[in-house]
Amino acid sequence: MPENQPQLISDEILSNETKLSTVLVIDDDNASRSLVRKILEREDYIFAGVGSGEEALEYLEDNEPDLILCDIVMPEMDGIEFCARLHLSPRLEEIPLIMVTGLSTMDSLSRAYEAGADDYIIKPIRQVELISRVEHHIEIYRREQAAKNRIENLFTQNESKTKFLGVASHDLRNPLVSIRGISQYLDSEKFGPLNDSQKELVSTIVQASESMLTLVEDLLDVSMFESGQMRIEPSIQSLEELIDHAVTLHSPNASKKNIRLIKGVLNSDTDAEIDRRLVSRVIDILISNAVKFSQPDTEVRLLLESDETSVTLKVEDQGPGIPEEEFDALFKEFGRTSNLPTAGESSSGIGLFVCKRILQRHGGSIFAENRSEGGARFNVTFNRSIENG
């Protein structure tokens, strides 16, 4: 994200800072109220005074002061009850509340704090103390409100980003499918032979559309996860069968770099309750990453292990391994490591993020480690049954 992005929030903070603050003073003693009024108005606060808790609640129906000063000892509703009532309203509960108390009522302070008061001032009120506490709490309140607005704003922005991502990816997908399909036809020379440079051009289109389609599908998955729309449709599937399928799919690409895909199965029962499409994506991403980051003439091993409750797939390569200090970035959105694909393949940095989300939805796990003999190993574990997860 560029740092100089416009921030709507800052305008709001400015306008808040220049606005005069209103302090609601609740005290049944007229003399105290007018003393506080004098002190506050000298410092440019707007004074609003009421003589009882009931009147205060009435005032608060239509007004939101920046701070409330409330006497503890009052007839009818006392300060503590008022405080408790105030905290029943989500709109008002965050307004800072300072209790005003005489020394004789110090023991009721703990009850006031329990009821949600933020601070207290002991009578007789001294001007310096009152102003510094009022200033301090209004300042904190302002900051909290600004932070809250900011979070709400970011939340909305994030939602619209996700929505945009979904719509854009969805609309990009269809044309890409056609571009890929049509260029594959050209490449197959069913419409007549291509000369060498034509063939090179066409195969570039095929490759580019394939990697773009993968990216678009990853983005679409991300947006579905982020917006909570991703539903999984689990059924019992043989992971070995999915691996076989994936090996067939990736072998042509791997053989271009003379990388061998080797399957190893320790226990023939590899059935688990999974979403076939999503788990195929995980396997695709892991294999294509392994091939992408490995040098030619190496091996990628796909090992299936299982026990009563789970099936684990280990994808091992003989590539450069994961730089120790970059493990954190691995499963993050657009988190790329400093490793580069060995044959100029593209890498969006979104694949492992998608894997992690898919595993989370399955109640499974994924983690990466470096093998002592060199290369990386990705361990993916599925529970045999989703309910056990």
Partner 1 sequence: MDREITARIADDEAHLRTFMKLLLMDLGVKKVYLMQNGMDAIDAYKEYRPDLVLLDINMNVMNGLDALRHIKEINPETKVVMMTAVSTRDSVEQCSRNGASFYILKTQTPDEIRARLKDAIDSIGLISQKP
100 within 8 A of 80, measured Cβ to Cβ? no
Tell me how far, at minimum, the Cβ of 281 lies from partner 1, in Å: 12
Which one of residues 178, 198, 346, 360 is an interface residue with partner 1 (CB under 8 A)?
Answer: 178
Which one of residues 131, 168, 179, 212 is an interface residue with partner 1 (CB under 8 A)?
Answer: 179
> What DSSP line would sit under 202-235, residue for residue?
HHHHHHHHHHHHHHHHHHHHHHHHHTT-----EE
Task: Give dist(CA 77, CA 82) in Å, integer.
Answer: 6
Which one of residues 5, 124, 190, 193 is an interface residue with partner 1 (CB under 8 A)?
Answer: 190
Which one of residues 180, 292, 356, 357 is an interface residue with partner 1 (CB under 8 A)?
Answer: 180
Q: Which residues pair with 83 in a beta bridge?
A: none
Torsion sign over Cα 243, 249, 252, 256: negative
Site stretch for partner 1 (CB under 8 A), options 23-31, 85-93, 95-103, 183-191 = 183-191
Which residue number, 55 or 187, has a Cβ lying nearer to partner 1? Answer: 187
Site stretch for partner 1 (CB under 8 A), options 11-19, 63-71, 166-174, 347-355 = 166-174
Q: Counting contacts by CB under 8 A, is residue 37 touching partner 1?
A: no
Look-up: residue for tokens 């499409």?
277
Which residue number, 177 or 262, has a Cβ lying nearer to partner 1? Answer: 177
Q: Which residues pair with 122 in a beta bridge?
A: 101
Site stretch for partner 1 (CB under 8 A), options 114-122, 179-187, 267-275, 310-318 = 179-187
Site stretch for partner 1 (CB under 8 A), options 93-101, 136-144, 173-181, 282-290 = 173-181
Q: How many CA atoms lie within 13 A of 82 on its CB side?
A: 32
Which residue number, 191 or 387, has a Cβ lying nearer to partner 1? Answer: 191
Site stretch for partner 1 (CB under 8 A), options 21-29, 182-190, 340-348, 371-379 = 182-190
Strand order in the sheet with 376-383: 260-265, 299-306, 310-316, 376-383, 365-370
Q: Counting contacts by CB under 8 A, is residue 184 touching partner 1?
A: yes
Count of residues in contact with partner 1, rule CB under 8 A: 15
Which residue number, 234 or 335, has a Cβ lying nearer to partner 1? Answer: 234
Q: Six-digit token pair at 173? A: 């997908």
Task: Give dist(CA 170, CA 176) in Å, integer.
Answer: 10
Which residue number, 145 or 184, has a Cβ lying nearer to partner 1? Answer: 184
Q: Counting contacts by CB under 8 A, is residue 250 touching partner 1?
A: no
As a dihedral over the C-alpha atoms of residue 365, residue 371, residue 375, residue 376, rounded to 10 degrees, the angle is: 10
Q: Counting contacts by CB under 8 A, is residue 30 touching partner 1?
A: no
Tell me how far, at minimum, the Cβ of 203 lies from partner 1, in Å: 15
For the chain, strand residue ranges (E) read 22-26, 46-50, 67-71, 97-101, 119-122, 234-238, 260-265, 271-275, 299-306, 310-316, 365-370, 376-383
Task: Give dist(CA 262, CA 259) in Å, integer.
Answer: 10
Tell me how far, at minimum, the Cβ of 181 lies from partner 1, in Å: 4
With residue 369 as reference, give the H or E element that holds it. Answer: strand 365-370
Q: Counting contacts by CB under 8 A, is residue 217 touching partner 1?
A: yes
3-state class of 205 per DSSP? helix
Residue 215 Cα distances to 219, 232, 331, angstroms:
6, 20, 16
Task: Give dist(CA 328, CA 335) in Å, integer.
Answer: 9
Tell me how far, at minimum, the Cβ of 185 lies from partner 1, in Å: 5
Task: Give dist(CA 204, CA 207) in Å, integer.
Answer: 5
Which one of residues 87, 136, 150, 173 is an interface residue with partner 1 (CB under 8 A)?
Answer: 173
Kindly give, in sequence order, each residue whose CB lies less than 8 Å from that of residue 182, ignoring residues fewer than 6 positions away: none
Which residue number, 109 or 182, has a Cβ lying nearer to partner 1? Answer: 182
Which one of residues 182, 201, 205, 265 is an interface residue with partner 1 (CB under 8 A)?
Answer: 182
Site stretch for partner 1 (CB under 8 A), options 106-114, 127-135, 184-192, 340-348 = 184-192
Which one of residues 155, 164, 185, 334 is an interface residue with partner 1 (CB under 8 A)?
Answer: 185
Contact footprint for partner 1 (CB under 8 A): 170, 173-175, 177-182, 184-185, 190, 217, 233
